[in-house]
Amino acid sequence: MKPTDKTNVMRVLESKKIPYACHTYEADPTLTGAQIAALLGEEPDHVFKTLVTRGRSNQYYVFVVPVEAELDLKKAAKAVGEKSVEMIHQKELLPLTGYVHGGCSPIGMKKAFPTRIHRSAEGMEKICVSAGRVGAQIELNPEDLRAAARCEYADLVP
């Protein structure tokens, strides 16, 4: 990867002096999270996806969960003090976050939204999240992710 290929995620991490490793793979919109984990040589529970929701209050929230897990909307709402949350429409993602579907990262969004990461990441040595574009993942310590995205751990999956 050339320096000109850096994503906003990488620039944010470097500005905060947070160590990371970037892994790339052939971008293919048909790949599942488990397939991406396999391409990275990682267990699926160490690779996380970023999901964006809107609460009943119209506030946006970001949730980071393992790629094979499903976000439990009731647990997610409870984690952010909302009565309910719902996934945003895919067409809203780019204008809201600056990221496309499949390349959304909890780091470096256009605006900082309250963010929660599934508690399974707590205590792990490393996890992977999107590097801010399809075909690239960032590997970092979950505590460093918490610092970069100002997120908290929460119970988010069934």
Q: What's the CA angle centered on 10, arms 129 and 139, to 5 degrees?
A: 35
Flag whether pLDDT at 109 surpasses 70.
Answer: yes
Q: Is 124 domain-assigned? A: yes
| Domain count within the chain | 1
Residues 83-108: tens digit of each pLDDT: 999 999 999 999 999 999 999 999 99
Q: Is 14 domain-assigned? A: no
Q: Is 92 domain-assigned? A: yes
Q: Where in the sequence is the domain holding 56, given as residue range(s)?
A: 20-154
CATH of the domain at 85: 3.90.960.10
Q: Is 11 domain-assigned? A: no
Would you state the structure tokens that stand for residue 144, as one six-digit string?
């460093």
Q: Is 3 domain-assigned? A: no
Instruction: Please tell me the pTM assigned to this model.
Output: 0.93
Q: Is 4 domain-assigned? A: no
Residues 6-50: tens digit of each pLDDT: 899 999 999 999 999 999 998 887 889 999 999 999 999 999 999
Tell me 88's DSSP state.
Answer: P
Query: Within 13 Å of residue 153, how many CA atoms lie on the same side as its CB?
Result: 9
Q: Is 8 domain-assigned? A: no
